[in-house]
Structure 1
């Protein structure tokens, strides 16, 4: 059972939009603490924390698309 949980955690960390990691880097915190905050906030607010997480994921993805550096005009 513990191996399954570790595998599931690895999958989520690898494919989880890196919202927690990037937010933790900005705030100077550990990513684990940011993830725990989102989990507790989700339980406390009946799922609004998950909506905030998805909103941040969308916003960061959009920011990455807008601010990508292009080396030439032909990279469009």
Structure 2
């Protein structure tokens, strides 16, 4: 059951932890644990930060996607 929940969040979590870990040169597990600990320590501020970063990354991907032709719009 825990593996299913973990798989769901890894699959549909916008890869925020993975992309942030790649940029910082850290392990993904360490970044995820940091978000979990910050969420408990600040009563949800970390989760709000996570969602903000996810939205920002998704928006950046939509804006900066390379289009091969004018007709791809």
TM interval, shorter chain, is over 0.9
4+ long deviations beyond 4 Å: none
Equivalence for 2:34: 37
How far is 1:74 from its partner? 1.1
* Unpaired stretches in structure 2, ≥5 consecutive residues: none
Provide TM-score, normalisation by structure 1. Answer: 0.93
Query: For this pair of structures, how many residues does the alignment match?
Result: 73
Cα deviation 1:32-62 (Å, max 9, x = unaligned): 1000000000111111000000000000000
Q: Give, in whole Å, the separation in 1 of the partners of 2:67 and 2:14.
A: 22
Provide TM-score, normalisation by structure 2. Answer: 0.96
* Residues 1-76 of structure 1: pairs in structure 2 closer than 5 A: 4-76=1-73
Q: Which has the higher contact order (CA 8 A, sep 6+)?
A: 2
How far is 1:8 from its partner? 1.1
How far is 1:67 from its partner? 0.3
* Unpaired stretches in structure 1, ≥5 consecutive residues: none
Cα deviation 1:7-31 (Å, max 9, x = unaligned): 1111111111100000000001111
